[in-house]
Every structure is written in structure tokens, then in C-alpha cells.
Amino acid sequence: MRTIEHIYIDGRFVEPHGRELFDLHNPATGKVIGRVRLGDVEDVNAAVAAAKRALPGMARTTKAERLRMLEALHVAMRSRVKELHEAVLDEYGAPTSRSVWMGDYAADSFLVAARTLADYPLQREIGAARVAMEPVGVVGLITPWNSNAGFICNKLAYAIAAGCTAVIKPSEMSASQTDVVLRALHEAGLPAGVYNVVNGRGADVGAAIAVHPDVAKISFTGSTAVGKAIVRASADSLKRVTLELGGKSPTIILDDADLDAVIPGVIEAGFMNSGQACIAGTRVLVSESRRAGFEARLKAAIETGVKVGDPRDPSTTVGPMVSLTQWERVQRYIHLGLEEGARLLTGGEGRPEGLGSYLGGYFVRPTVFTDVRNDMRIAREEIFGPVLSILTYRDEDDAVAIANDTTYGLSAYVFGGQARAERVADRLESGRVVINGAAHEPLAPFGGMKQSGLGRENGVFGLDAYLEPKTLLGARPA
Ligand code: NAD
């Protein structure tokens, strides 16, 4: 069993000041597979100091120099994607296809940020003024466990594109994945202090970054509750804050959709990343008149086609929940759905059958409730597991009203004839709307409306968020 003893400060792997050892689990077996030594507030102070020392040099780098850094990071991360894939399988349990995607996403983040920077005007003429887009300063990057490596790389890529330096606080539950990323980043040979990584608990290391006076901006991905705590903690130093938070996304099946054709898309939207996805389409809206036909198809497709179990088996589509805590949370919500009077279409409490040697794993039965009202807690709160709710609507206006009746607004899915689907998409209060299963666009802004977040990541909007415009009057054009 391996113990990860180091964090990364000022270009070196160092032992943290913190002494706590934290167990890492394989969620498919429930067994402890390693331990990580967690950092503490002193480690945060050392990391911020290193990032602050490195900032003047980094802020002066040219666009060409930053592009070279991003290219080096991409190459280094690309050489480790297989290793990352293995770490994701062991420590997080994402099914193989998802684990592979996660490795690719982490490596490709640097390329997408480089493409964004290449076309981005860092100097602009606006009227009589010259406007210089300057790095915001030292940034704190805080990531969750459901795509830890991807969020580290994506946030760091845009920080570097902007000329910022960073202190990264990965999820404490993802230390093996962080370790692979860290060794890759180190090989890229960036100047010392440009990025620093402190493993630790949210309540101490995360909170210390959020209040630190020398941190100018926080980019956080995680739960809405912690996002709000970060806004409060960062208020005294008026940090810039980008928050990517939770969701309760609607999947709307319009009356002109082909029911057979949409089922795979509904399942993919709902159960992606084993249901542990902020953008999961967990409220499925179908018209009253087509409900019976839709339910029969969905039930049959899940019971015959959605395989839960060993994440290394390529036919598995839903892996374990990340932890026992998360498993128990999902179980509580399934129990609550029954108490609230929703009807089980498929799934339910407990572990699925046929797990064989994986009985100790944190597996959940893929579950669909029907007869769900939008005021039930299972329709309002983020469950973060493979649990869907079917709600019915009378007409298009009713569908839009139900879809928008949520405190969240991260993602939405619409299936139907093109013109009608676009008309409905225009009316949804959501940071993004996916029409008929269209593919992700990494250059487009990503983020949520309402309590799903603040600001946007990715592409031009994501880069903007790491920059401050400085207006120069009387200066010569750049
Ligand atoms: P979490 O909010 O519990 O933790 C996220 C990170 O914040 C972790 O690194 C944690 O240690 C840290 N943290 C905890 N308390 C903190 C504090 N007081 N100050 C600073 N940092 C603190 O979330 P999680 O359980 O790791 O991840 C699941 C949540 O993340 C879900 O709600 C999900 O919707 C959300 N999420 C959102 C997106 C998105 O892009 N919108 C993507 C993935 C996950």
C-alpha cells in the first residue's frame, strides 16, 4: 500500500507541514488502497508565498512564452494519460470509457487554452485608450473528486494562459490522480512557483486559500453549499470568484421526438459519470400523453442495457459511487423518494444483484422514479448518483415552466424536431442547452445560471476571468 507523502511548492516535491494521514479507497471494492499526507494552513502560506514570488516573472511573459508553456504541459500530460486512466479506475471507479475520456480531457485542456490564447487580444485599442489585459494575480484553484485531474488541468491551463500563478487544492479523495498529474506537470519544466499543489481538507486548506489576502481570485468547482462559503470567506479581500456548482438539469422530450431514438441520449445524460455529474439530466420531462410509451421503453432499456459493476469491464456503464458517504447519501434520497410518494419504475434501495466479488463496492441500483412532482425534494435537490425523476407536462409552455422551476441552471437537454427544440432551448434558464445529443464544445463558455455558479470557464470567457483590463490613456498604441 502506497503513501503519498509530498505536496508541491516552489517547483519541488516537499513533505507537508501537516501530519494527518488520510485513507484512499478503491470504491469498487471498498478496500483501502493507499494514504495521503494532508497539508495544513502553514503549507498554504508557503504555497501562496511561492506563487507570489513567481508572479512578477509570470505576469511579464509574452503570449508566445505562455503558448510554449501550454504546449509543454500538454506533451507532458499526454505522456501520462494511461497512468492517469489507471489511477481514475482504482481511486474513483469511473467505467473504462469514462476513465479514458477523463485522461484525454486533462491533457487536451492545455491545447484548448492555447488555441484560445493564440487568438486572444491581450492589448486592445478602445476609443482613445489602450487597454491591457493583465493577469489578475495569484489564483486559488479548488477541485472536486468527480473529475479531479480534468479540473486541475483545465483551471491551470487558463491561469497560465493569462500569466497568473496558482495554488491548487485538489480533492483530498483524489490524491493518486493528483499525483499522476503533478509528476506530469513537473516534467514540463515551468519556472518554480508558477503552480503549487497542497493536498488537504476543504475546511482547513481550502478555507485558508479562500481567506488568504495574497490570493486575488478563486476558481472553484464543487457543491453549491461550499461555493457560498467561499464567497463569504473571500469577501474581505474582494477576491474575484468563479464558481462551477451543482445542477438539477432537465431533459425535455418534446412531442415530436422519436421515443426509440431518444432513449440512449436520456440514459447517457442521466447516468453519465455513474450519475456523479454536475450536468446530469436528472429531471426527465415527457408529455402526459406519451408518458406510458416512454416509461416502458426507458425501463426496458435500463434493465437490459445499463450494466453496473466492475469499472474495468468495458461493458460496464455505471461504476460505483466514489465513497461510502456518497453511497449512503444516494440511498437516503431513494428512500426519501418512496416516502414522498414517487413510484419506482426501476431500481430502488440497496446494492444491485450479481456483483460477485465486488460486493464490498459502493454500487447503487440505477433508479428511475415516476409520478414525481417538481416540488418533491428528489426533484429539487442534487442527488449525485444514478437516480432519475420522470415528470409530466401538459404542453410546451408547461414543460418550459417546470424545467425553469429550479434554483439551478447549469445544463439542459432537449430532444425533438430541430425547430421546436431550438424554440424551447431559447426559453430555458440554463448555462448551456444540448439539443438532440450534440457533442461538447470545449471552446464555448461553460458555467451555470442561478445557484449553479458564478462566471464561466473555457474559451474566451474562461480566459477573461483570469484577467483584469487596465485602461491606459495617453499611451501609444501597442
Ligand atoms: P465539495 O463542495 O464538497 O468539495 C469540492 C472541493 O472543495 C474539495 O476540494 C473540498 O475539499 C473543497 N472544500 C470543501 N469545503 C471547503 C471550504 N469550506 N472552503 C474551501 N474549499 C472547500 O464537492 P464534492 O463533493 O467534491 O463534489 C461534488 C459537487 O461538485 C457536486 O455538488 C457537483 O454538482 C459539483 N460539481 C460541479 C461541477 C460544475 O462544473 N458545475 C463539476 C463537477 C462537480
Q: Please indicate, yes or no, if residue 239 is contained in any of the structural domains.
A: yes
In this structure, the residues whose C-beta lies within 6 A of any atom of ligand 1 are: 142-147, 169, 171-172, 201-203, 206-207, 210, 221-223, 226, 229-230, 244-247, 278, 382, 384, 410, 448, 453
Alpha-helical runs (H) found in 235-347: 259-271, 291-305, 324-339
Q: What is the pLDDT of residues 264-276, one digit of tens each?
A: 999 999 999 999 9
Segment (H or E) for 99 = helix 96-118
Please compute the mean of the pLDDT values over residues 98-115 and round it to a whole number: 97
356 pLDDT tier (thresholds 50, 70, 90): confident
State which ligand 1 atom lies nearest to the alpha carbon of 227: 2
Task: Give the domain range for residue 109.
Answer: 2-245+451-473
Residues of the chain with pLDDT > 70, as a percent, come to 100
Catalytic residue among 91, 244, 295, 457: 244
Is 153 among the catalytic positions?
no
Answer yes or no: is pLDDT of 477 > 90: no
Query: Annotated catalytic, 244?
Result: yes
The pLDDT value recorded for residue 478 is 84
Query: Residue 357's pLDDT is what?
Result: 82
* pLDDT, mean of residues 9-13: 98
Output the pLDDT for position 59: 98
Work out the pLDDT band at 117, boundaries 50, 70, 90. Answer: very high
Could you tell me the CA-to-CA distances from 197 to 47, 72, 159 in Å, in that order? 7, 19, 14
CATH number at residue 258: 3.40.309.10
Residues in Cβ contact with 268 at an 8 Å cutoff, skipping those fewer than 6 apart: 437
- Span 22-32, pLDDT tens digits: 999 999 999 99
Average pLDDT value for residue range 48-58: 99
- State which amino acid sits at residue 2: R
Q: Is 203's pLDDT higher than 90?
A: yes
Place of cell 470567457: 461
Distance CA 272, CA 413 (A): 13
Dihedral, 333, 336, 341, 347 alpha carbons, nearest 10: 40
pLDDT for res 209: 98
Please check whether residues 170 and 301 belong to one and the same domain: no
Q: What is the position in ligand 1's atom list of the atom closest to the CA of 453?
A: 41
* Buried residues in 38-54 as b, exposed as e (16+ CB within 10 A): bbbbebbbbbbbbbbeb
**Domain co-membership, 299 together with 428:** yes
Average pLDDT, integer, range 179-200: 98
Q: Tell me if 219 sits within 8 A of 141, measured CB to CB.
A: yes
Any domain includes 446: no
Render 378-428 in DSSP notation, one character per residue. HHHS---SSEEEEEEESSHHHHHHHHH-SS--SEEEEES-HHHHHHHHHT-
Query: Beta-carbon neighbour count of residue 117 at 10 Å?
Result: 22
User: What are the beta bridge partners of residue 197?
Assistant: 8, 168
Examine residue 349 and state whether it is found in any structural domain, yes or no: yes
Same domain (yes/no): 343, 468: no
- For the record, the C-alpha cell of 272 comes out as 453519465
pLDDT reading at 247 higher than 90 = yes
Across 47-51, 141-145, 148-152, 350-354, least confident range: 350-354
478 lies in some domain: no
Give 217-240 pLDDT, tens digit per residue.
999 999 999 999 999 999 999 999
User: Percentage of residues in the chain with pLDDT exceeding 90?
Assistant: 98
Same domain, 373 and 239: no
pLDDT at 1: 86
Which pLDDT score, from 0 to 100, does residue 325 have? 98
pLDDT of 169 > 90? The answer is yes
Over range 79-89, report the average pLDDT.
98
Alpha-carbon gap, residue 80 to 185, rounded angstroms: 10
Helix (H) or strand (E) holding 65: helix 63-78
Q: Are residues 212 and 261 in the same domain?
A: no
Q: For a pocket test of ligand 1, which of 172, 273, 278 has the largest count of ligand atoms closer than 8 A to its C-beta?
A: 278
* Residue 39 banded pLDDT, cuts 50, 70, 90: very high
Do 80 and 136 lie in one domain? The reply is yes
Do both 150 and 9 map to the same domain? yes
Same domain (yes/no): 421, 274: yes
Cell numbers linked to 391: 415528470
Radius of gyration in angstroms for the set of CA atoms belonging to the chain, rounded to a whole number? 23
Angle at 91 (CA atoms; ends 74, 113), nearest 5 degrees? 20
Q: Is 329 a residue whose pLDDT tops 90?
A: yes
Handedness of CA 27, 32, 36, 40 (dihedral sign): positive
CATH, residue 178:
3.40.605.10
Per the prediction, the chain carries an average pLDDT of 98
Residue 175 has a pLDDT of: 98
Atom 23 (ligand 1) nearest CA: 222
For residue 462, being part of any structural domain is answered with yes
Report how far Cα 199 is from the mean position of its chain's Cα atoms. Answer: 18
CA angle 217, 223, 227 (to 5 degrees): 35
Q: Is residue 292 in some structural domain?
A: yes
Q: 359 pLDDT exceeds 90?
A: no
Q: Which residue has the cell 460486493?
A: 359
Catalytic residue, chosen from 278, 295, 382, 457, is: 278
Q: Which residues is 13 bridged to in the sheet?
A: 8
* 275 and 137 co-located in one domain: no
Nearest CA to ligand 1 atom 14: 202
* Total domains in the fold of the chain: 2
Q: What is the pLDDT of residue 291?
A: 98
* Claim to verify: residue 234 and residue 269 sit in the same structural domain: no
